[in-house]
Amino acid sequence: MVEKDRSIIVKKTYLLKMLTPLYQKNLENQLSESQLLFLSLLINVLQDIQEVSLEKIANALPIPILFESRRQKIQRFLSLPILNIQEIWFPIIETWLTQNFRENQRIYLVIARTKWQRKNLIMSSLIYDKRAIPIYWEFLPRLGNSNFEEQSKIFSRLLGLFKKYQTVVLGDREFCSVKLANWLREQEVQFCLRLKKNEFIQNEDEIWHFLDSLGLKPGVS
């Protein structure tokens, strides 16, 4: 009796089940077959257990090796230099943009910062179909508000993806600095940044007005 090699069947089953053609095509250019298969296994496990604990993922990983070996295998995989936002995620986003947006179409990018436990996360997302799709994110080395250097560094890394489109940056009061506004203008990027009510603005009459005195309410521009 000849034992059949089912590895190819298993590989194709996982890829078809978990990865859309957009992801599969781009990831095939970046990862080896074994790496892509292992990524598919991880996606299966994550969707099944809905946990991000390394130990729980290793415990559920369907590979016939010892638990500690599974845990180390996951760690080695996640430590691959290729697994970074610019090399893995950006090509997928770039392909997706060409499929869903016309050249020179207006695109809205949102920048925001949030505190996640003791981590300080800054993120830029694309608005699409009433949803925010994460484009780039980074943990700041400290707590508190971000500064101009950190904000401009974030945009420097992602604006190249949107050079074919009219890009509009949306940001809350943390990002309303004159430095950032001037920098975005130099990059030929439009912006809409929320101002604090104690700011002064110059109207068409070229007179400076106290923003709080104009009677504007949240949501009014």
- pLDDT tens for residues 180-202? 999 999 999 999 887 766 565 66
Q: What CATH number should be reported for the domain holding residue 114?
A: 3.30.420.10
Domain contains 134: yes
Domain contains 215: no
108 with 177, same domain: the answer is yes
pLDDT of residue 205: 67
Q: Which residue has the tokens 């990524």?
A: 39
Please give the Cα distance from 106 to 112 (Å, whole number): 20
65 with 106, same domain: the answer is no
Domain contains 145: yes
119 with 174, same domain: the answer is yes
Domain contains 49: yes
pLDDT of residue 170: 96
Task: Quote the mean pLDDT of the chain.
Answer: 85
Contacts of 200 (CB under 8 A, 6+ apart): 208, 209, 210, 211
192 with 110, same domain: the answer is yes
% of residues, the chain, pLDDT over 90: 64
Domain contains 91: no
14 with 49, same domain: the answer is yes
Domain contains 23: yes
Please give the Cα distance from 54 to 43 (Å, whole number): 13
Q: What is the mean pLDDT of residues 86-99?
A: 96
Q: What is the mean pLDDT of residues 130-157?
A: 94
pLDDT of residue 126: 97
7-16, 19-28, 54-63, range with the lowest pLDDT:
7-16
* For the ranges 1-5, 51-55, 87-91, 213-217, the one whose mean pLDDT is highest: 87-91
Contacts of 126 (CB under 8 A, 6+ apart): 93, 107, 108, 109, 110, 132, 133, 135
Domain contains 94: no
Please give the Cα distance from 137 to 111 (Å, whole number): 10
Number of structural domains, the chain? 2
50 with 114, same domain: the answer is no
Q: What global pTM score does this model have?
A: 0.79
175 with 132, same domain: the answer is yes
141 with 64, same domain: the answer is no
164 with 109, same domain: the answer is yes
The residue from 78, 93, 118 where one domain ends is 78
Cβ atoms < 10 Å from Cβ of 198: 8
141 with 107, same domain: the answer is yes
Domain contains 41: yes
52 with 108, same domain: the answer is no
- Can you tell me whether residue 221 is helix, strand or coil? coil
129 with 63, same domain: the answer is no
Residue span of the structural domain in which 62 resides: 7-78
